[in-house]
Each structure stands twice: as structure tokens, then as C-alpha cells.
Amino acid sequence: MPAKKTSHAGYTVPGMSLQDGHKVATLLQSRLHALNDMQLTLKHAHWNVVGRDFISVHEMLDPQIDLVRAMIDETAERIATLGVSPNGLPGALVAERTWDDYAIGRAHTSAHMAALDLVYTGFLKSHRETLEQVGELDPITEDMVINQCSQLELFQWFLRAHLEDDDGDLANAGKKTERSAAKSAK
């Protein structure tokens, strides 16, 4: 029997229309790409931090990476539950993403934290936009995305605590690119 080549099943979760279930899954697919990119970016920073605070930042990133990897699995399984085949392949991620690769290589811990702060800001902004869209269609998916935002906002706060001065100002305030953020944190 030849394999089917469709990425959509003829079902979704009970209580949702097929159209709405597949719409939510399509919205989640972009988040799956973003989560996959986030965990790769965090691991890249983990391998490339240097400087006096190396070990604390190096070890601070590991739980973030593990949590994002769990979010990837949760998101992919929700997509499948909604009746759509999740795509976690790197070619699809690169072809469909709307952002560039992380711009920082080997650099001081403060440079990576300032750049990662912008990564988190961009990610969370787009995650919240998806949250607004799925919230109208599926409270289960909405709950999942809310939980992901909550956990990632906490990790962003961990980064920002390293960038904040006594007055509550961030070293990378107003910076629009990862490179300019990294430069401002030195």
C-alpha cells in the first residue's frame, strides 16, 4: 500500500471544527519553527560564552534549553493532536522563518545576554500574537501557549537581571539588533 502524502488528517480534536483545528495547527507550526530556532540559538550561546561569568551563564542556559526542548515536543504533539503533521525539519524552518540567524559568535557573557534579551523579546512578541489568534479558537492550545510565555518571560528576566543597573535601566536599552545590543553591554 503506497504511503499517503497528505499533511492533514480528516479529523481534529472533539468540539472543534476540522477547519478551526487545522487553522490552530498551522499557527502552531510557525511557533514550532521558532521554538526549534530558539533552542539552537540558546545552545549556540551556551557553547560560545566567555569571560569572568562564563560558568554561571553557561550553566544558566542549560535549563532554558531543556525547557524549550520540552516545549518543542509539546507543540509538535499538539499539532498532531489537531490532525496535522508537524514539521520539525531544518529545511522547513529555514524556508519558512521570518528572522535571521543569531548574529553573535564567541563573545563575553554580557554580550550574549544582551543579544539573547532581544531574541527573547522578538520570540515572546510573536508568541503573544499567536496566543491572541488561538485564544479565539481553542482554550487548550491557548493554555499551552500562555504557559510557554510565562516560563520564557521568567528566563528573559534572568538574563535582564544581569543587564540591569541600580536604576532599573538595561544596558541594551533601545538597541534594535543583536550586534548593537551585544556591543552596548560590554
**Is residue 8 situated within a structural domain?**
no
Asked if the model's pLDDT at residue 6 lies above 70, the reply is no
Task: Provide the mean pLDDT of the chain.
Answer: 94
Q: Give the pLDDT score at 7.
A: 77
Owning domain of residue 155:
18-184
Q: Residue 55 sits in a domain of what CATH number?
A: 1.20.1260.10
Asked if the model's pLDDT at residue 146 lies above 70, the reply is yes
**Is residue 48 situated within a structural domain?**
yes
Q: What are the E-state strand segments in 112-183?
A: none
Q: Number of structural domains, the chain?
A: 1
**Is residue 118 situated within a structural domain?**
yes
**Is residue 152 situated within a structural domain?**
yes
Confidence grade of residue 2 (pLDDT, cut at 50, 70, 90): low
How deeply is 20 buried, as exposed, middle or buried, from its count of CB atoms within 10 A (0-12, 13-18, 19+)? middle
CB 80 within 8 A of CB 92: no
**Is residue 137 situated within a structural domain?**
yes
Confidence grade of residue 10 (pLDDT, cut at 50, 70, 90): confident
**Is residue 80 situated within a structural domain?**
yes
Instruction: For residue range 69-93, list pLDDT tens digits in order.
Output: 999 999 999 999 999 999 999 999 9
CB 156 within 8 A of CB 124: yes
Q: Give the pLDDT score at 180.
A: 95
**Is residue 4 situated within a structural domain?**
no
Asked if the model's pLDDT at residue 1 lies above 80, the reply is no
**Is residue 11 situated within a structural domain?**
no
Give this prediction's pTM.
0.93
Look up residue 158 and give its DSSP letter: H
